[in-house]
Structure 1
């Protein structure tokens, strides 16, 4: 479990860092070029690492549900939306909203057992947890605006 927590923390920091870099690239070349660059470099890095780690096994594709193959297309939406959201809202606010959305949809999909997930019983504690995070972000965003207005 500890390794899972550490990996999740690293992933969160990397997503945040990547989002900032992507936004800076977007300022110079635009959203679609940024998405192409990001996903192209990601493909190349993943392909090379998978050849090193897994060898020829990466070409052995096992049967799976057809809709799982669209994951890369979803990545295009992720990059475009994150870059544009960060451009309009700033990194902290945009990532905060992304996290709420991720948590909310994960709760929904877990609770309903969608997309091949094992159904996890919904509890009100889970919903309260999501709402507490939403409240924290509202305090963060609205509290900062009032301080900015006072300073002006």
Structure 2
């Protein structure tokens, strides 16, 4: 459990850092080149490390539904949308909104048993948790707006 928690925290830190780096590349190269670069380098690194760690077992995909392999196409949307969100909102808001959205949709898909997931019971506490996070983003943004108004006076 502790290792899972630590790895999840590390993943969050890495996603935040990757999005900031992506937005900096995007300033010079544009959205599509940045996406190609990010996903291309990710593919090369994954393939190289996967071959080193798993060898030929890397390519054993028996029993997998073919459309699950297209998740990389979804990754294109993730990278492009986050870069544009960061450009328009800044990294803190864009990532906070994306993660809240991710949590909300995961709750929806779990509760309805969509996308091949086992149906999990929905509880109001789960919805309250997502709404509290969303409310935190609003408070964070509201606090910034108050500081900007105070600085302008």
Global fold match (TM > 0.5): yes
* Correspondence 1:144 to 2:144: yes
Q: Corresponding residue for 1:37?
A: 37
Q: Corresponding residue for 2:107?
A: 107
Deviations 1:92-141 (A, max 9, x none): 00001001100100000110111121211000000001111111110000
Give secondary structure in 2 for the equivalent of 1:81.
helix
- Structure 1 unaligned regions, length at least 5: none
TM-score, normalization by structure 2:
0.97
- Structure 2 unaligned regions, length at least 5: none
CA distance in 2, matches of 1:21, 1:67: 30
Aligned pair count reads 152
TM-score, normalization by structure 1:
0.97
CA RMSD of aligned residues (A): 0.8
CA distance in 1, matches of 2:116, 2:3: 25
CA distance in 2, matches of 1:120, 1:6: 25
Q: Corresponding residue for 1:20?
A: 20
CA distance in 1, matches of 2:112, 2:143: 35
